[in-house]
Chain A
Amino acid sequence: MSDPIHPAASILVEPEVDASSTPLQANGNPRPFLELRGISKSFAQGKQQLQVMENISLTVHEGEFVSVIGPSGSGKSTLLQMIGGVMLPDQGDIILQNQRINGLQGKAGYMPQQPALLPWRTIEKNVILARETAGMPRQESLALARNWLDKVGLGGFARAYPRTLSGGMQQRVAFLRALLGPQSLLCLDEPFSALDAFTRSEMQAWLLRIWEENRRSVVFITHHIEEALLLSDTIYVLSSRPAHVIQKVPVPFPRPRREELVDTPEFIALRRQLTEALRAELNG
Chain B
Amino acid sequence: MSIRAWWKGIWPPFGAVVLLLVLWQLATSLFQIEDWILPSPARIAQEAEKSYTSLLGHTWATLKLTLSGFGIGAATGLIVAGVLHYIPFLRRALYPLLILSQNIPLIALGPLLIIWFGFGLLSKLIVIVLVCFFPITVAALGGLAGTDRVMMNYMQMIGATRGQIFWKLELPYSLPAVFSGLKIAATYSIMGAIIAEWISSSEGLGYYMLLQQSAFRTDRMFVAIMIVIAFSLIMFSLIVLLEKWCIRWQNDSTAHPKGGIDRV
Complex contact B249–A163 (CB within 8 A): yes
A114 vs B160: C-alpha distance when bound (angstroms): 19
A152 vs B263: C-alpha distance when bound (angstroms): 7
Contacts A118-B172, A133-B164: A164 and B257 contacting too (C-beta < 8 A)? yes
B88 at the interface (CB under 8 A from A): no
B213 at the interface (CB under 8 A from A): no
Complex contact B154–A153 (CB within 8 A): no
Complex contact A206–B264 (CB within 8 A): yes
A84 at the interface (CB under 8 A from B): yes
B158 at the interface (CB under 8 A from A): yes
Complex contact B255–A160 (CB within 8 A): yes
Stretch in contact with the other chain, from A11-19, A104-112, A138-146, A224-232: A104-112
Could you give, for residues 13-35 of chain A, a 1 whenever the CB lies within 8 Å of some chain B CB and a 0 otherwise? Answer: 00000000000000000000000
Complex contact A120–B249 (CB within 8 A): yes
Q: Which chain B residues lie closer than 8 Å to A85 at the CB level? A: 156-157, 159
Q: How far is the CB of A197 from chain B (nearest CB, A)?
A: 15
Could you give, for residues 155-197 of chain B, a 1 whenever the CB lies within 8 Å of some chain A CB and a 0 otherwise? Answer: 1111111001000110010010000000000000000000000
Contacts A112-B153, A118-B151: A130 and B158 contacting too (C-beta < 8 A)? yes
A183 vs B247: C-alpha distance when bound (angstroms): 31
Within 8 A of B (CB), among A111-158: 112-114, 116, 118-122, 129-130, 132-134, 152-157
A168 at the interface (CB under 8 A from B): yes
A161 vs B256: C-alpha distance when bound (angstroms): 9
Complex contact A112–B160 (CB within 8 A): no
Q: Which chain B residues lie closer than 8 Å to A163 at the CB level? A: 249-250
Residue of B nearest to A206 (CB): B264
A169 at the interface (CB under 8 A from B): yes
Complex contact A159–B255 (CB within 8 A): yes
Q: How far is the CB of A190 from chain B (nearest CB, A)?
A: 12
**Most chain-B CB neighbours within 10 Å: which of A81, A161, A166?**
A161
Q: How far is the CB of A178 from chain B (nearest CB, A)?
A: 8
Complex contact B250–A153 (CB within 8 A): no
A130 vs B256: C-alpha distance when bound (angstroms): 25
Q: Which chain A residues lie closer than 8 Å to B175 at the CB level? A: 120
Select which of A116, A121, A156 is within 8 A of B258 by beta carbon.
A156
A63 at the interface (CB under 8 A from B): no
A191 at the interface (CB under 8 A from B): no
A75 at the interface (CB under 8 A from B): no
Q: How far is the CB of B131 from chain A (nearest CB, A)?
A: 30
Within 8 A of A (CB), among B62-76: none
Select which of A155, A166, A206 is within 8 A of B259 by beta carbon.
A155
Q: Which chain A residues lie closer than 8 Å to B172 at the CB level? A: 118, 120
A71 at the interface (CB under 8 A from B): no
Residue of B nearest to A135 (CB): B164
Complex contact B155–A133 (CB within 8 A): yes
Q: Which chain A residues lie closer than 8 Å to B34 at the CB level? A: none
Select which of B153, B155, B250, B262 is within 8 A of A169 by beta carbon.
B262
14 contacts between A and B (CB under 8 A): A81-B157, A86-B156, A116-B153, A118-B151, A118-B169, A119-B250, A120-B172, A120-B249, A133-B164, A153-B260, A156-B261, A164-B255, A168-B262, A202-B264
Nearest first, the 7 closest Cβ-Cβ pairs linking A and B are A106-B159, A156-B260, A153-B263, A156-B259, A84-B157, A156-B257, A110-B157
16 more A-B contacts (CB under 8 A) besides A105-B157, A105-B159, A114-B150?
A84-B156, A86-B153, A86-B157, A105-B156, A112-B153, A116-B151, A119-B249, A121-B249, A122-B255, A133-B161, A134-B158, A154-B260, A156-B257, A160-B255, A160-B256, A164-B257
